[in-house]
Amino acid sequence: MNPIEMTAVELVAAYGAKELSPVEATSAVLDRIEEVDGEINAFCLVDRESALEQARASEARWQAGTPIGLLDGVPTSMKDIFLTKGWPTLRGSKAIDPDQPWDVDAPVTARLRADGMVLVGKNTTPEIAWKGVTDSPLTGITRNPVDTRMTAGGSSGGAAASVAGGMGPVNVGTDAGGSIRIPASFCGIVGFKPTHGRVPMFPASPFGPLAHAGPMTRTVEDAALLMDILSLPDHRDPTSLAPPRLTFRGEFNREVTGLPVAYSKTLGYVEVDEEVGRICDDVVARIDAAGMPVTAADPGFDDPLEAFELMWAASAATLLRTMPGARKTVDPALGEVWDRGEEVGAVEFLQARALAAALGITMGAFHEQHNVLITPTMPITAFEAGHDVPPGSGLKTWPQWTQFTYPFNMTQQPAISIPVGTTSAGLPVGLQIVGPRHSDDLVLAVARFVEWLIAN
């Protein structure tokens, strides 16, 4: 099998059996980037020399029988939001000076290095990861490997496109309103947003209580292994959780049949594309028939769009005002969000936080009756690249077409998107599985059950 088609688990198995080396796998990924990324634009930095040096060190460990981690030698890359020692972290912005010391790793970066993974470069993101598609004044437009006319989604669009395009089997994204799940759905991969604080973040995200980090992979098993690497606490994040009591790799494949779950096709207020809805309906019917009883049930809250956009704008403004020169270079649409954020008062912000807390209580009560909630990940499929909203839709802001994702940032719950089919146009459709806070292992186990069901 071509290394670019292999999962992280398959690569590690091949290393252990001495059927493949980390150098061969890394070289294949680097060659793939060179071959296709000129069109896709998933990378804003590739460091071939450093990647091969890391791969040779991993190869020596495997030859000696002393790998240092679960995914030692597996190629990956860093979203250009995570600080990465030796490489600039520009956040898709022209306002950040690349010529300054870059001598700190974010917790995510540090964990991947300590596990022996091979960092090949950095992935594109919209400026300060602010929207649900990936383009920026600094790096241009990132396109979908499934159909390069279409957007990869965002803000972790470069990360998703790299995984979907064979430029590394796994990645890590950030998600403060859907930024892992949106591009996972659009690109046909797995994207997991764990409980808030499960994966430590530093520096603290400007999007604060909305912000999460998590795996972007081709399989649920790879996501579970990455969670075991990423989920240890870090003193630089005061919101990070205690270490999990069990391993995610030990729990993701456990029995979940018999657990009652809920399916909400619209959350009570979302207009869903007919073909997307039909694909999700068909998968949910199979879930029910396979022994996981499904009840149609809406969670019972109204669209929290206004509160979310208020929190989002205030958070973006807080960061942007610390970036000298940003007013001259900022993405014009982000500049409008910045202006709105400057007008948000403390009382308004706390009222929005109170609404988010009430939403969390509503979902907590809902999960007393239903182990998980299943929804479409997105009400639409990927649309033409270079636009913040679907052309001709009449929508004005990106959250208006991501109504299934941002509520669960406000509640800080774990949520995963898994690919469940394609439309007649060949575009991927994702199914979202949402669990109670701290039920990350359950969400992964249900996702694995659905993944197995689709494959069989």
As annotated, the active-site residues are 79, 155, 179
Q: What is the 3-state secondary structure (H, E, C) of 396-408?
A: CCHHHHCCCCCHH
Instruction: Say if CB 119 and CB 54 are below 8 A apart.
Output: yes
Among residues 179, 261, 164, the alpha carbon closest in space to that of 219 is found at 164
Q: Distance between CA 325 and CA 320 in Å, rounded?
A: 9
Query: Could you tell me where the DSSP H helices lie in 290-329?
Result: 305-320, 326-329
Output DSSP code: residue 168. Answer: -
What angle do helix axes 220-230 and 440-455 make, rounded to 10 degrees?
Answer: 160
Q: Distance between CA 416 and CA 373 in Å, rounded?
A: 11
Among residues 105, 106, 109, 143, the alpha carbon closest in space to that of 124 is found at 143
Q: Is 401 exposed, middle or buried (0-12, 13-18, 19+ CB in 10 A)?
A: buried
User: Six-digit token pair at 40?
Assistant: 């896709």
Instruction: Say if CB 107 and CB 113 are below 8 A apart.
Output: no
User: Six-digit token pair at 410?
Assistant: 């406000």
